[in-house]
Amino acid sequence: MSDVGINSTIGEQEARFGDFFALLKPRVMSLVVFTALVGLLAAPVPVHPLIGFAAILFIAIGGGASGALNMWWDADIDAIMRRTRRRPIPAGKVAPADAMALGVALAVLSVTMLALATNLAAGAMLAFTIFFYVVIYSMWLKRATPQNIVIGGAAGAFPPVIGWLAATGTMAVEPWLMFALIFMWTPPHFWALCLFMRSDYDDAGVPMLTVTHGRPATRAHILVYTVLLAALAIGAGFTGIGGPVYLIVSLVLNAAFLAGALRIWRRDEVLAEADNYAVEKRFFRLSLLYLFAHFGAILVEALLRQWGLGGWG
Amino acid sequence: MSFKATHELHRRRLGRNLGLGLVLAAFVALVFGLSMVKIAALIRESAQHEAES
């Protein structure tokens, strides 16, 4: 065997810097960064810009660590699903042990640094969030119950609470309203994805609602959760995080979201397959705009409040 | 005879090492900045405390 032969084999498997970055789920991280930033800026305590930047950075790194540990644990099912089979571990670019080491190292680093840069409460909440996502959701619930998304979705809802804690060091009702918004938004968002990713979860044996209760039941669940979400989102408009701007944004988006959920509920698989799940895909895209616009409106209200405007008083 | 890093393997390792180097440099700069902000806040607090007492 020649040296060139050995090097070629190793070269194909050698991970790039970008492969390690992909382990951190950058797209999920953008949601974490934005919602944590809103939590931090909506808090009634001014934060030094550098401390605020560090807080958001370490919350994002904590989210990334959760992503890496989730990819390490779920590498077997990621290799089966179309949506995930190009991830660094199933693609053979990063060794599972390396992904786990990166996840653990970043988790420890992010929690320690957040606690040092801001306060212990924020660090502890970040540690709990990582634990919740990796152990409660990934290791336990995801493969055990069709309610995996409902309970596990809480992990993605913690960032605004951590952002608020980083700024204030104390708890209040407002960050939990933001938490509730993401918590109620996650099931319809994810179930819409499950509907048009068709056989992915079936093949992987993950007990998604589409697999255990069927597609009509999933469509009904999307509608029920969307109604509950709309009530919560519009109701939040009259609380401390809301105001006229938020309420207008929320009314428009919830009307569109409810209309989308109704359309999904009325359809069956024959109709959905005929247009390649166009309604479900549109609903999924709208769900992304829905969350970003709601948190954007909360941010606008918080910024207006600094000028004596915003809110209801 | 000279050794030349011409293989794809070397390019990937160089990219990874450069990336890691930049991340570490940014981390050091951030910790330095945070230390400055925290120390400045402590100095301000103690100065206020002294002025009040």
Indicate the angle between helix axes A173-196 and A26-42, nearest 10 degrees: 160
pLDDT value for A5: 42
Same domain, A166 and A21: yes
- In A, residues 249-308, which contact B (CB 8 Å cutoff)? none
Q: How many residues does chain B have?
A: 53
Q: Write out pLDDT tens, residues A128-166.
A: 999 999 999 999 988 888 888 888 888 899 999 999 999
Same domain, A100 and A79: yes
Higher-confidence position of A250 and A82:
A250
Residue A100 CB neighbour total at 10 angstroms: 17
If you measure CA to CA, which chain B residue comes closest to A47? B37
Interchain contact, A50 vs B13, CB within 8 Å: no
Same domain, A30 and A159: yes
Is A198's pLDDT higher than 70? Answer: no
Confidence of residue A204 (pLDDT cuts 50, 70, 90): confident
Last residue in a domain, options A152, A171, A190:
A171
pLDDT value for A9: 43
Determine phi and psi for A259, rounding to 5 degrees.
-60, -40
- The reply to whether A272 falls in a domain is yes
pLDDT value for A8: 42
Same domain, A266 and A144: no
Break chain B into its structural domains and give their ranges.
Answer: 27-53
For chains A and B, what is the number of CB pairs under 8 angstroms? 34
Predicted ipTM of the assembly: 0.82
Is A18's pLDDT higher than 70? Answer: yes
- The reply to whether A6 falls in a domain is no
pLDDT value for A299: 96
Domain containing residue A71: CATH number: 1.10.357.140
Is A178's pLDDT higher than 80? Answer: yes
Question: Which of A14, A93, A108 is the best mutation test for B, with the most CBs of B within 10 A?
Answer: A14
Q: Which of A134, A122, A252, A103 is nearest to A175 (CA)?
A: A122
Same domain, A33 and A46: yes
- The reply to whether A5 falls in a domain is no
Q: Are A272 and A280 a contacting pair, CB within 8 Å?
A: yes
For residue A190, the enclosing domain spans 172-313
